[in-house]
Amino acid sequence: MVSQTLELNSSENSQIAGRGLLITGLIIAMLFSALDNTIVGTAMPRIVGDLGGFSLMTWLTTAYMLTSTTVVPIAGKLADLLGRRTVYLAGLLIFILSSMLCGLAQTMEQLIWFRALQGIGGGIMMPMAMIIIGDMFTGKQRAKWQGVFGGIFGLSSVIGPQVGGWIVDSMNWHWIFFINLPVGILATIFIAMGLRGQRAQGPVKFDMAGMITMIIGIVTLLLALTFGGKEYAWGSWQIIGMFAVSAVSLLAFVLIEARTSEPILPVRLFKNRTFTVVNSIGFLMSVGMFGAIMFVPLFMQGIVGISASASGTVMTPLMITMIAASMIGGQLVHKIGVKIQMVIGMIVMAAGFLLLTTMNIDTTKLTASGIMVVLGLGMGLVMPLLTLTLQETFPKSELGVVTSSSQFFRQIGGTFGMTILGVVMNSKSDELLSLQLVPKLKQLPDQAAGIADQLAETIHTNPQGLYSTLLNPETLAQFPKTLADQIVPIVKNALIESLHSVFWFGLVFVLLGVLLTLTLGKIKLESRSGKEEATAPEGAME
């Protein structure tokens, strides 16, 4: 009897130790993968200065976005088929190898290809932490831990630029990638030791036709959204062609998924109202969040007149509040329920967007930071619940695919938001500047005709670039004072009205999300069986 008790205690201690190693590994992996995005942005000027290829610079971000977004749903399905350990470790190893290759890149073209490979690793890793948390914990514990991991992800956004700046200044840009190697290896060891079980049972059927059609459909859609209105006009044959290829490929994907035995994203899931509603909320929230928030620094620099670094500090309260709200929300949700907390969060977020529409030339940094606090509070209350709700609705056998679907629809929503609100921004700016600034430019003396023609052309092709140029103190110093006094008030007024249009459109998307939250049913945060609660989850630990 005593020996049995000792064996039981030994087994329990082993499970606790394994769980501790696993959580530590997950935290390390999430930190270093999330940091990589913001660190690269900080180092971009140094990279271009060293490798050249200024015209290709945007591809460093685009290549990563394309591959990481596309691979998310595939990773979730493979995690269900092959087991969490196999898929997660594969993603980690791809990320580590590609980080090394990025650090060794000698040309911009090489770096872009290696960043695309890095995106595959990152896309595998992104949903895996939430999937494993879903395996390891019950409903109430899931809420707490997903809030913690959501906070860690937000923290990386706050410290990323500072870490990136320190690395670039202290060493060189190569080390923003090399730093991933020792940290990634440590995370891999911890996760390999802590994550065991759930191996593939018998032959595994891969939905190759579904993978191919989905990849073609998503990549062409993202390319069209990325290049539309920038590299090519929206009505150009290139953009129309990409949308057409995307539509045909995604239609083929749906037809294939409805017939195959192991679909990547089962069509039947959309028959579940909770699945459809929650992913739609995540999509709409991301449209507003990623689309409108990206314009706040432009407002602060162009209208308020603060530096780029100072405008970054205005965004810091948003991230800090989102971290705190994610953690508090994880504790609060089991007291007030998923639906009530999600409704409250979306309404608070909508209030934040409404406050954005009141910003004007007299707005101070303190006022803007206060608005960021409101937005961060709303986002933090909602974001962890999107994944949690799906995990509590579906059986464990589908945990991977439903968790990755949440991440996937949010990423697509963010891309769509940045695109559609960018179109709103440019369209409104074109209208206002054509009516108010162009007549002024035509009145300039002949010796200023060259500048006038160049500004008039920029109004139609790149209004955001025009704002950045004309509202930059160094650039303005090169203009005659009389000319600057005439055009700056017009440009600032156009920027304010254009950004207000962006914020109003963002508010509409968030309000649609509020309406959808009202249609959610009751979600119970509890384990599905006593056995599942008492034992270590299959696929997480033995």
Q: Are residues 45 and 91 in the same domain?
A: yes
Query: What pLDDT score was predicted for residue 92?
Result: 92
Q: Are residues 41 and 178 in the same domain?
A: yes
* CA–CA dist 463, 431 (Å, integer): 10
Tokens of 212: 């191919």
Query: What pLDDT score was predicted for residue 454?
Result: 67
Query: What pLDDT score was predicted for residue 514?
Result: 93
Residue 191 is part of which domain span?
Answer: 13-206
Model's pTM, two decimal places? 0.78
Beta-carbon contacts of residue 435 (< 8 Å; ≥ 6 apart): none
- Could you report how far apart the first and last alpha carbons of the chain are, in Å? 23
Which residues does residue 232 pair with via DSSP β-bridges, in sequence order? Answer: 228
DSSP symbols for 273-340: HHHHHHHHHHHHHHHHHHHHHTTHHHHIIIII---HHHHHHHHHHHHHHHHHHHHHHHHHHHHH-HHH
Residue 162 lies in a domain: yes
Question: How many domains would you assign to the chain?
Answer: 3
Residue 409 lies in a domain: no
Q: Are residues 59 and 79 in the same domain?
A: yes
Residue type for position 48? V
Residue 300 lies in a domain: no
Q: Are residues 213 and 180 in the same domain?
A: no
Query: What pLDDT score was predicted for residue 252?
Result: 93
* CA–CA dist 278, 272 (Å, integer): 10
Q: Are residues 214 and 116 in the same domain?
A: no
Q: Are residues 150 and 234 in the same domain?
A: no
* CA–CA dist 267, 493 (Å, integer): 48
Which residues does residue 228 pair with via DSSP β-bridges, in sequence order? Answer: 232
Give the end of a domain, one of 261, 286, 306. Answer: 261
Residue pLDDT tens, the chain, 542 long: 444 443 434 444 445 556 778 888 888 887 777 777 667 766 777 787 788 776 677 788 778 888 888 888 888 888 888 888 888 899 999 999 999 999 999 888 899 899 999 989 988 887 888 888 877 876 667 777 777 777 676 666 666 666 776 777 778 888 888 888 888 898 888 888 887 755 555 556 777 888 889 889 988 888 888 787 777 888 889 999 999 999 999 999 989 988 888 788 888 888 888 899 999 999 998 888 776 677 887 777 777 776 655 666 777 788 788 888 888 887 788 788 888 999 999 999 999 999 999 988 888 888 888 998 999 899 888 888 888 888 888 887 788 888 888 888 888 888 788 778 888 887 888 788 778 777 776 666 665 566 666 666 667 666 766 676 666 666 666 666 766 677 778 888 888 888 899 999 999 999 999 999 998 887 776 644 333 433 343 344 33
Q: Are residues 102 and 169 in the same domain?
A: yes
Residue 520 lies in a domain: no
Q: Are residues 103 and 240 in the same domain?
A: no
Query: What pLDDT score was predicted for residue 4?
Result: 45
Q: Are residues 30 and 40 in the same domain?
A: yes
* CA–CA dist 516, 519 (Å, integer): 5
Tokens of 305: 């007149």
Q: Are residues 131 and 235 in the same domain?
A: no
Taking every pair of Cα atoms in the chain, the longest distance, rounded to a whole number of angstroms, is: 102
Residue 348 lies in a domain: no
- For CA atoms 384, 129, 541, 185, the dihedral sign is negative
Give the end of a domain, one of 261, 276, 295. Answer: 261
Give the end of a domain, one of 206, 234, 250. Answer: 206
Residue 231 lies in a domain: yes
Q: Report the candidate in 511, 72, 519, 507 with the shortest Cα–Cα distance to residue 277.
A: 519
10 Å CB burial of residue 478 (0-12, 13-18, 19+) is exposed
What number of residues does the chain have? Answer: 542
Report the 10 Å Cβ neighbour count for 202: 5
* CA–CA dist 380, 329 (Å, integer): 7
Residue 526 lies in a domain: no
Residue 51 lies in a domain: yes
540 neighbors 369 (Cβ within 8 angstroms):
no
Q: Are residues 66 and 177 in the same domain?
A: yes
CATH number of the domain encompassing residue 49: 1.20.1250.20
What does DSSP assign to residue 235? T
Q: Are residues 251 and 194 in the same domain?
A: no
Query: What pLDDT score was predicted for residue 472?
Result: 65
- Report CA-CA distances (Å) from 484 to 3, 78, 175, 477, 494: 87, 59, 43, 9, 15
